[in-house]
Amino acid sequence: MRSHAEMREKRDTDHLITESVNPASMEIDCCSTEGILRLISAEDAKVARAVENEIPNIGKAVDKIVDTLRSGGRLFFVGAGTSGRLGVMEAAECPPTFGTEPSQVRGIIAGGKRALYRSVEGAEDSPEGAVYELEKERFSKGDFLVGIAASSGTPYVEGAISYASGMGAGTALITCNPVPKEIADVTVTLLVGPEVIVGSTRLKSATATKMALNMLTTAAMIRMGKTYGNLMVEVKPASEKLRSRQERIVMSLLGVNRSAAQKLLQRARRDVKAAVLMDKLNVSFADAKKRLAREGGFLRRALGEEGGGKDGRGNDGA
Band of residue 307 on the pLDDT scale cut at 50, 70, 90: low
| 124 is an active site residue | yes
- For the chain, residues classed under CATH 1.10.8.1080 are 225-318
pTM score of the predicted model: 0.88
Q: What is the mean pLDDT of the segment spanning 177-191?
A: 93
Predicted pLDDT at 2: 60
pLDDT reading at 1 higher than 60: no
| 182 is an active site residue | no
Highest mean pLDDT (candidates 4-8, 193-197, 312-316): 193-197
Q: What is the DSSP letter of 150?
A: T
What does each C-alpha distance from 153 to 18, 81, 225 come to in angstroms? 12, 13, 35
Q: At what angle do helices 33-44 and 204-223 cross, to 10 degrees?
A: 40
Selection from 107, 112, 115, 75 nearest residue 90 by Cα: 107
pLDDT reading at 317 higher than 60: no
DSSP helix/strand/coil, 108: strand
Cβ atoms within 10 A of the Cβ of 64, count? Answer: 19
69: which residues sit within 8 A by CB, 6+ positions away?
75, 104, 220, 224
Active-site entry in 54, 90, 124, 133: 124
Dump pLDDT digits (tens) for 272-298.
999 999 999 999 999 999 999 999 999
- For the chain, residues classed under CATH 3.40.50.10490 are 4-223
Q: What is the mean pLDDT of the segment spanning 63-77?
A: 97
Selection from 128, 124, 122, 165 nearest residue 143 by Cα: 165
Among the residue ranges 129-133, 148-152, 242-246, 254-258, the one predicted with the least confidence is 148-152
Among the residue ranges 13-17, 68-72, 251-255, the one predicted with the least confidence is 13-17
Q: What is the mean pLDDT of the segment spanning 91-98?
A: 93
DSSP helix/strand/coil, 78: strand
Q: What is the mean pLDDT of the segment spanning 236-241?
A: 92
CATH of domain 225-318: 1.10.8.1080
Band of residue 152 on the pLDDT scale cut at 50, 70, 90: confident
Q: Which strands, in side-by-side order, build the sheet including 105-109?
A: 105-109, 75-79, 144-148, 170-175, 186-189
Contact 104, 74 (CB under 8 A): yes
Residue type, 150: A
Dump pLDDT digits (tens) for 116-139.
888 887 888 899 999 999 999 999
Q: Which fold has domain 4-223?
A: Rossmann fold (3.40.50)
Q: What's the mean pLDDT when you consider all of the chain?
A: 91
Highest mean pLDDT (candidates 22-26, 137-141, 179-183): 137-141
277: which residues sit within 8 A by CB, 6+ positions away?
283, 288, 291, 292, 299, 302, 303
pLDDT reading at 24 higher than 60: yes
Q: What is the mean pLDDT of the segment spanning 70-98?
A: 95
Active-site entry in 19, 93, 128, 295: 93
pLDDT reading at 12 higher than 70: no
**CA R_g for the chain:** 22
